[in-house]
Structure 1
Amino acid sequence: MLQERGYRLRPRYRPGWKPSWTDTDIHPVYCEDSFTIIHWKILDATRISDGKTVIIKRVPVDSPEGDIAQFLSSPERLLDERNHTVPIFDRFRDDSVPDSEFIVMPLLRLATDPPFAVVSEIVELVRQTLEGLVYMHEQGVAHRDFSWLNIMLDASPMYPTGFHAQMKFLDPTGIHSVRETRRCDLNTVKYYIVDFGLSVRFEESDMVRLVTGVAAQDRNVPELSTSTPYDPFMVDIFTLGNFYLETLIASYSNLNFLTPLAIAMTKRDPKERPTAVEASNLFKDAVENLPGYKLRWRVRDPDDTVISSVISDAQSALREIMYQIKLFLGVSQSNSQLLHWSMSDYSVGNPGNHSSNPTDG
């Protein structure tokens, strides 16, 4: 069925597959076809038309995921650079599985994989996720599960030769280790919002925008209830703020400037939380006056030993010196925009207003 649709599965998942290590003295770990999928509903494949690796997800037909994801990733909406919805390449059904449909998406990685190198990389992640949240809410869509596992990174610019869909530390052959380019050494990377299985879309005419239900990754959302209706847009604010607090700020000791934003977004009373636009403005206020060198500085692990901290800080200082020398000599650094990332030209809710011109901050 998938072959006829234009997608070729890896050898392991083709009819008649025989393990390549059979009758050999090769250990299966060294064979690409020993790599199994992590989740039975998600399968990687090659798009035959261009050789691109894609992800095919099986979705229940009664799930809102297909409709909402396709709505948000329509051609006209994808033209808005604030839209961070995962693109849907294809959507189809097959009579052999009447209870399901299939959606095809790009191969992505978790937003936190690989680990961050410098502060500006995390600042850019926060900027893009807030930007995507503003856009999504403008379209009347509440995600309802906007947390760690549903925030993804298009890492293709970081891995020019690609990476294996199931063993991301290996190249597509599954044999060689990959070497990545740091986010900050690229002009840009893009983060995407995935998995709209719990999402809800409201029409402009809908006067009441409330839901019930307790399903979510983040079990800390205080208002989740099966009986008392709550505002799903404020749930998005909480879960994203809690992602900042527990996954980012708790992991790196020099992100304290983001703490007030995260605390505001995770207030127990939903009415005390900022809207998406207000959260974006809080973020802008938090970072716009940060000196450039702090954005370019390495992220600090709170568990660093004194020796490792001194060594890492020395390396970061050396990179900063080299940056300033290049700046003084007028050497182009356009290929490392995130190293001198600035909020000076960023305006919430205004598409196309995020400057591509590097500044020192």
Structure 2
Amino acid sequence: MKGHTCSLLALLVVGLLSAIANGQTTFLTCKKCDRAPSLDSCSGSVKCADDETCFMDELITDQSTVVYTGGCRSKVVCKAGVSGSPSVGRRGLQKRSDLVACSRCCDIKKKSGALDCNARLCGIRYTDTNSTRCYLCDNNRGDAEQGDVDIPQDCLSETTCQSNEACGAERLDLSGKDSHKYTCLPKRICTLLTKEALKRKDECVTNPDPALCGNVGTGKRAATNQCTACCGDGLCNSGTCEQVIDRLYNLWKGGALDLDTLKQKSQPTTTAPLATNPPTPATTKSTQPPPPTNPATTQPPVATQTTQPPPTKPPATQPPVISVSTAPLTPATAAVVVSQASSTVAPNSPPTVTPNTVVPPNTVVPPNTTAIVG
């Protein structure tokens, strides 16, 4: 019994020394990020418990900005599908308005000087990462430090692609076994392939058909080529080909993907506008010639109806009554009476002479005056 215990202790010591010699830690550490726009904004690393693993979530906010949340997560939650797909595209638990574009887990213990494994998930990167920097694990390239890998997280080599290239990820089926290739692909072809992949992915989300959507790939389907995906951001070709397509699809649906460059759209500024009074327009003397004016056309006068006051009847003028005295009149007296009567009679108005009035003889009667002689 004692000898058996010593053997177990010896094995543990050998394992510990071997891990130290390889520069690998004996516990799992993960990058700690809290709605960080890049790795620069993450707060460092955190040590996970035995029942936890690393994770990284890529979130699209309601302002179409991309942030990352990472750290330790329960292995049960990760195995339930968080790192694959079921929660991808749904509203996250971080904020009700967040859209989860990518959610992945890893449990690879980092080597000395290497990044935590979740620092390579869901496209998170440092802000100074060259946009043409891509992972390179390709059997067909002589300058590649690594060839195709069986596990996506095993691809650690990087390269700088040409300006007319984009990062590519392929999944191959070699005799029933998956193999993953990471390389640089022509950007012109990548743009066409990615647009077709997103269109097909959208059809599968809307009307899933297992016969057509079991393995959503892009481009030509060779006998062994199961999936090909491209992306334009630095070191974005991490994970499986399907995970790259899922991430691009959710960025696209969230309005955060530029289909021409296959990159995340630039983060909009959120500075509040200053309240300013509206500027007073300055009066400037125009140097332009005045516009031609049409000769004024004389409009015919408009007949306006004026309201005249209703005609008023002149006061009825009673014809003057010529009073003829019964006393004998001298010629002089008669002339005065007749003269007064003629001055008060309106023209063409015959004076009225009191009937039965006797006009004395030798009395001069004015013209148009009818005298009644009794």
Q: Same fold (TM over 0.5)?
A: no
Larger Rg: 2
Quick check: which one's strand share is greater? 2
TM-score when scaled to structure 2?
A: 0.27
